[in-house]
Amino acid sequence: MTPLPSPSADERMEARRQRISSAPPSHVRTTRARAPVLIIEDDADDAKLLMVRLGQVRTVAFDVVHVSTLAEASAWLSTHSCELIVLDLNLPDTKGLEGLDELRGRRPVVPVIVVSGCMDDGVRASATSKGAEEAIAKHDVNGRLFASCVVYVIERNRAREEERRVARILEANPDALVVVDSTGVVKYVNDQATVFFGKSREKLTDECLLFSASEGVPTEITATRSDGKRIGEMRVVELEWQGEQSFLASIRDVTEQRSLEGQLLLSDRLASLGTLAASVAHEINNPLAAILVNVELAIHDVKGDTLDALLDARMATLRIREIVRDLRLFSRSEQNTLERIELHGLLDSVIRIASNEVRHRARLVTEYGPANIVLANETRLSQVFLNLLVNAAQAIPAGNADNNLIRVITEKAADGRIVVHVEDSGVGIPHDVQKRMFEPFFTTKSAATGTGLGLAISRRIVETMGGEISFQSEPGRGTRFTVRLAAASPAMITRRSNRAPKNIPSARRRGRVLVVDDDPLIRNSIKWILDRDHDITCVGSAATALELISSGDDFDVILSDLLMPTMTGMDFHREVEAAHPEEAHKFVFMTAGAFTEEARQFLLTTSNDHVEKPLDLETLRRTIDRHVTAEDDAASSSPTTEAFQRHDASADDPNPRSASERREHQPGMTFARVAKAVR
Amino acid sequence: MARVELQLYVAGEGLPSRVAIANWAKICDDDLEDECDVEVIDVDKHPPSLVSESFLATPMLVRRLPLPVHRVIGDLSDGDAVLAGLGLARRAEGGP
């Protein structure tokens, strides 16, 4: 038995409080706690009689609180609740039904039974019209009527409360609920259903509506609202509603979930593409290095037509190298860190990747402004521009490339941000499609061509970098997408160049070079290139190289592959650093583009030089010469490794681009010449 | 029998659209003796302003005629609900 919370503030009231205990007979099931009842009655005898009568009720047990005035009742109700109020209409501080008004105002859902010494039909009618559940004459209290009346009022109110509770649950249910009968009449609609369908309750119940799905199995539906599409997972079950066979459709809004799933799927796809790109780059670069080196050597030995053919072959090989290098944009592990990116180089790479989509549809022109360094994530920004370029190409029908144009324009905005426009002369975007452009899953392309996620993801990417993406389009004339990006100070560029500075004098003597690479083709090529000027020792593993160094062999340069089986170049370097620290600065690393995250970090932090495969003949020669010369300088003055520091791309870029330079990209040309030469 | 005009609204060419179209074809084969042509409308291909439907959830079969307009939302896998909703053939007794 739970005692009522005591109104400790009012001792007088507490003194009057009486608990009437009447345990129900064992065969009566009480599912609820005892019912608290407030009796407001100034006549002590009448109050006692009421309490005795309540005590005789067998089906409900009451906790009775008795007060004598309306003021006391109000005070008690401000801190307590009860299931029933019994109100005498003749109280010292109120007359007639005013008391009822006050109680109803204070506790609208608690039922009130009024009792009066002078009850007639008029009083009874006005009492019930003011919300009293029952009106009983005092002389009737002393009979069965009162007891059954009390039980009825309490049971009815409990049922009503139960219904309110269920209704609140249905209304608050985050899933949309609609009940229709078998002829399509809408019987019930909850709040969320009006939200999901974007229709008012009235509009929904006016519809002749049915739902058809396999019972209990979720099926996907899409609601088109004025503010966009919502995807719902609908389940339909049969239920009885007001005695009729009906159907309940429960619809869960899964729009955000689907959008996330779609983005995950896409980034999964990009991740696998990245892995593939990395391994392809690695596999291609080694044989490519051999081709390049041999072609370059042959170029020095031949003349005439054969020389032209070889020059074309070299150009084609360099182009393969560029393509493989571009693929690396996608092989970086997924990171959201912002770096300083050389925008024009990135755009050039993306343009090369997209050229296959573009070349049959339009000429591609770049107009680059002077500002070039942006704060962005290289992989993700490439994804955005690739997407915009492919979209631009697809907006132009194939076959009329000469008369169509895609322009990629960069400029510096007045607010200091860097703006990239991707402009096409395609079909344009119809006005009513324009406002849905960035909506996830909205696509005008067929299922095979588009997921409808490209622009949604692009916008998300640009916005996470603190940028903006927008577009202007005129149907029939073309579309211009504009990406605004934060500019970065040009002090440091993350994209590093490994080109050696010019005018490094040849080494004054033959250097001793240790070449460590697991690929015999590479070892042979390097030997070919460097044999003329230096003494070359080639080994196939880091372990053998370590043995040589430990046995006291002295080298000027240790040219080591970065990624080798069993012991990587990084581990090799660490071993040497530990055992022979004076040799560690002699390392020059070779990379084939397959950057593991570890390798990437290593190259970013190490002070040693590195060269990229396929090896460029001149670069390799210069790098080795520079190191041999530096060794001599170090021997004659204080030792320093300064000369080995990498150089900033802006300082030694062999092709500095003038402001607003305009270039045409004609990627097909090189191959055409090559093919002709071969024939 | 009065003229029946039906439209099937779908969004794109994804699985839900294909399932609804296939289920409708099955209902036509199994349950409808009269030929019942349906106009399939892909709301992704028609800009919203061109779609006359004021109440849009897809997939949705709409019986435009005879009036009143009836709508059946879902993949149409429950054929009975579809037929009842359209007031066609094997409709429940006392239906419209």
Work out the pLDDT band at A250, boundaries 50, 70, 90: very high
pLDDT surpasses 50 at B83: yes
pLDDT score recorded for residue A572: 92
The topology (CATH level 3) of B5-86 is Glutaredoxin (3.40.30)
Q: Are A182 and B92 an interchain contact pair (Cβ–Cβ within 8 Å)?
A: yes
Superfamily of domain A173-253: PAS domain (3.30.450.20)
Q: A419-433 pLDDT, tens per residue?
A: 999 999 888 888 777
Q: A471-494 pLDDT, tens per residue?
A: 988 888 889 999 998 887 655 444
Q: Which of B44, B49, B56 is closest, CB to CB, to A432? A: B49
pLDDT score recorded for residue A407: 92
User: Considering chain A, what is the average pLDDT of its residues?
Assistant: 78
Residues of chain B contacting A232 with CB distance shorter than 8 Å? 57
Q: A348-376 pLDDT, tens per residue?
A: 888 887 887 788 888 999 999 887 888 88
Does A432 lie at the interface with B, CB-CB under 8 angstroms? yes
Residues of chain A contacting B84 with CB distance shorter than 8 Å? 182-184, 210
Does A442 lie at the interface with B, CB-CB under 8 angstroms? yes
- Name, in order, each residue with C-beta under 8 angstroms of A521's C-beta and a sequence gap of 6 or more: A286, A287, A289, A290
Work out the pLDDT band at A27, boundaries 50, 70, 90: very low
Residues of chain A contacting B95 with CB distance shorter than 8 Å? 183
Tell me whether strands A363-367 and A557-561 are parallel, antiparallel or unpaired. unpaired
ipTM score of the complex? 0.83
Q: In Å, how far is A203's CA from the nearest CA of chain B? A: 9
**In this structure, CATH architecture of domain A11-169:** 3-Layer(aba) Sandwich (3.40)
Work out the pLDDT band at A272, boundaries 50, 70, 90: confident
Please report which residue ranges of A302-361 form alpha helices under DSSP H. 304-327, 343-358
Q: Are B71 and A444 an interchain contact pair (Cβ–Cβ within 8 Å)?
A: no
pLDDT score recorded for residue A480: 92
Q: Which residue has the higher pLDDT, A192 or A14?
A: A192
Q: 490-529 in A: which are within 8 Å (CB) of B?
A: none
Q: Which residue has the higher pLDDT, A462 or A371?
A: A462
CATH of domain A512-652: 3.40.50.2300
3-state secondary structure of A603: helix
Instruction: Give the C-alpha distances (Å, rounded to integers) separating A344 from A341, A348, A424, A576, A635.
Output: 9, 6, 19, 39, 42
Does A443 lie at the interface with B, CB-CB under 8 angstroms? yes
pLDDT score recorded for residue A557: 92
* pTM of the model as a whole: 0.51
Q: Are B58 and A446 an interchain contact pair (Cβ–Cβ within 8 Å)?
A: no
Alpha-carbon torsion (A647, A652, A657, A658), positive or negative: positive
* Average of per-residue pLDDT across A389-395: 87
Q: 235-264 in A: which are within 8 Å (CB) of B?
A: 236, 247, 249
Does A202 lie at the interface with B, CB-CB under 8 angstroms? no
Q: In Å, how far is B27's CA from the nearest CA of chain A? A: 12
Does A475 lie at the interface with B, CB-CB under 8 angstroms? no
Q: Which residue has the higher pLDDT, A393 or A645?
A: A393
Domain boundary assignment for chain A: 11-169, 173-253, 335-496, 512-652
Work out the pLDDT band at A660, boundaries 50, 70, 90: very low
**Closest C-alpha among A337, A314, A485 to residue A415:** A485
Q: Which of B50, B69, B74 is closest, CB to CB, to A212? A: B74
Q: Which residue in chain B is spatially nearest to A200 when comparing CA positions?
A: B55
Does B45 lie at the interface with A, CB-CB under 8 angstroms? yes
Q: Are B12 and A447 an interchain contact pair (Cβ–Cβ within 8 Å)?
A: yes
Instruction: Give the C-alpha distances (Å, rounded to integers) separating A365 from A298, A362, A405, A409, A659.
Output: 36, 9, 7, 8, 15
Q: Can A11-169 and A512-652 be said to share one CATH topology?
A: yes
Does B81 lie at the interface with A, CB-CB under 8 angstroms? yes
pLDDT score recorded for residue A452: 60
Fill in the DSSP letter of residue A34.
P
Q: A284-326 pLDDT, tens per residue?
A: 888 888 888 888 888 888 888 888 888 888 888 887 887 777 6
3-state secondary structure of A565: coil
pLDDT surpasses 90 at A637: no
Q: For chains A and B, what is the number of CB pairs under 8 angstroms?
A: 115
pLDDT score recorded for residue A230: 86
CATH class of A335-496: alpha beta
pLDDT surpasses 60 at A662: no
Please report which residue ranges of A473-607 form alpha helices under DSSP H. 520-530, 542-550, 569-579, 597-605
Is B13:B72 a contact under the CB 8 Å cutoff? no
Domain boundary assignment for chain B: 5-86
Q: A32-59 pLDDT, tens per residue?
A: 568 899 999 988 888 888 888 888 887 8
